[in-house]
Structure 1
Amino acid sequence: MAGSGWAPPRLDEFILTERLGTGTYATVYKAYRKRDTREVVAIKCVSKRSLNRASVENLLTEIEILKTIRHPHIVELKDFQWDSDHIYLIMEFCAGGDLSRFIRMRRILPEKVARVFLQQLACALKFLHDHNISHLDLKPQNILLSAPEHPQLKLADFGFAQYMSPWDEKHVLRGSPLYMAPEMVCRQQYDARVDLWSVGVILYEALFGRPPFASRSFTELEEKIRSDRAVETDLVVEAVKKDQEGDASAALSLYCKALEYFVPALHYESDARRKEAIRAKVGQYISRAEELKALVTSSSKNLLQRENPARELLREMAKDKPRLCAALEMASAAIAKEEEGKDDADTLELYQQSLGELLLLLAAEPAGRRRELLHAEIQTLMSRAEYLKEQMKMREAQSMGKEALAEPVRSTCTLQ
């Protein structure tokens, strides 16, 4: 709901309530129509000041396209308005959030659910292509769900969409890198078929919980797409390399990430011989990950448990600041819980609460020795919180692997 830090714009016909999302040019709010119907809508508020020439053209194309199309799997544009500061797109409200959140909450989607979603997405896409429209920014964040239960997909956010005949070729870079077709990533001419590549990436993410070419830079993404190596083996090759170099922490993290790929592959593989080969790999990676975890945990605990005289000095200097004292006490409680072996979500939450408070206090702290100590303490606490988060993720990955290995070997043809 609306908090003290922001206030939604005012529209005569609507009451704007909670903020649903924020992008570069727009903020989306949930809203109610003031008339008797009390219809619930989503209102995309675009700040005129943030628009450059290209984004104005994109917005006009988005309005033009959405005004002329109606389809059960495409979000409906009900109306649009404007005032001196904003342009407002009044959209159909989708109570189920977006597909990205839906996947994250479930980790992976069952094949039968992914199949239904893909059919609905294909249906919307065929309708668009029949009308010579390419979306050009297909990704889970731009696919909404009509309701939390028994959802229908609704394709949304046509900010990059273009009228394109099947034979039209473009070269302007559009969309989100992780979901871009190779022609776009490699800056070549492309046509309407680039949407089909994005659909494939979305399907992979639905089944495996992450996109196939996760990368830290555009260059790395291009290298991965150009590579003819199997997607899931990249992590293993890198893990083995780090292992051989003696970087136990990095190797452990990579082995656990590899498990996140192999476990769903093990679940869905129907060929008995390939399934057995995957089982052997999963067992091998779990075994090595456990050996590395023992090494990493031992060295990290030794490092983290060393006396910290600066922390004690900071506490002394904070005695006249009750709020700072309270935040430091909360951080100490988190450290104590972690050192007792309670490396769980409650301990992480304590770290995050204390860091949130300490960062606010740092912003208001004048220059001087206390500020320097506070800055250093925040960095230390962030490192501890990140270490704890990584430990929790690794434990979850190993648990998934063990559960998969414990399942009886059987064909998955019953899932078809």
Structure 2
Amino acid sequence: MEKYEVVRDIGSGNSGVARLMRNKETKELVAMKYIPRGEKIDEKVAREIINHRSLRHPNIIRFKEVGFGSSSRLLRQLICGVCYCHFMQICHRDLKMENTLLDGSPAPRLKICDFGYSKSSVLHSRPKSTVGSPAYIAPEVLSQREYDGKMADVWSCGVTLYVMLVGAYPFEDPDDKKNFRKTIERIRSVQYKIPEYVHISQDCRHLLSRIFVANPAKRITITEIRGHPWFLKNLPRELTEAAQAAYRNKDDNMPTYSLQSVADITQIVREARVPPSSAFDAGFSWPDDEEEPQEGKQE
């Protein structure tokens, strides 16, 4: 996937999205079909691939194969983003696919969003509450005791990596997907496996085995992931340690005059907890609370 860039969307249907792509080296244009992993991957998809790849004719569009490079690239971007958060002493605590966005560039860049559950080790107490999405939660988060939010983030990164490669949650029972209690039990016992039909490199398998460790003290850290063979293989220049370090150093010189102070934000939030005295607050009206004119009364 890394050798292709998006030209434009062609169309979409029930089974997926079609995009016009260009080979960065040869400039060859190809039509690429995206099918989301999960329930839409069935025997029809297998039939389409098996049958289409065997056909070579001038009046039949040619089938080409692409690999898992796109998932790898996006996951390494996620790791870099989380690494920066941890450098800034912030743990996210709700990392998941749904809390990442892709920008509109030809080679999409992953963006981490939704910091509603985040905590700063400088400003806040050590995490203790059970927050996040069940499928992504680390075992220690379920203990109802204090835990290291950074190590919980690492676990969630592992779940995200697994989901992007396999198209399913690692600790979800495939025969009983809605049974959250069973999911929690499998998380606590670190019970997961990689389906035989999914091709994952040995480096990636090793990384997952280092992430999915029940004891957070023995789990690989986000910094150690950046030195893992899976992460370093064909690493883009902008994700190297030198590039990331240079970016972090820029933070010291960034102007902060446009940013509100922690005290200002705390005061604003404290004041916002007080309900408005009327239906009109700071110039905004709330239609549901407005009184309707009395019958016969002239406004």
Report if TM-score (shorter chain) is over 0.5: no
Superposition TM-score, scaled by structure 1 size = 0.30
Superposition TM-score, scaled by structure 2 size = 0.41
Larger relative contact order (C-alpha < 8 A, sep ≥ 6)?
Answer: 2
The structure in which a higher percent of residues are helix is 1
Please tell me whether Structure 1 or Structure 2 has the larger radius of gyration of its CA atoms: 1
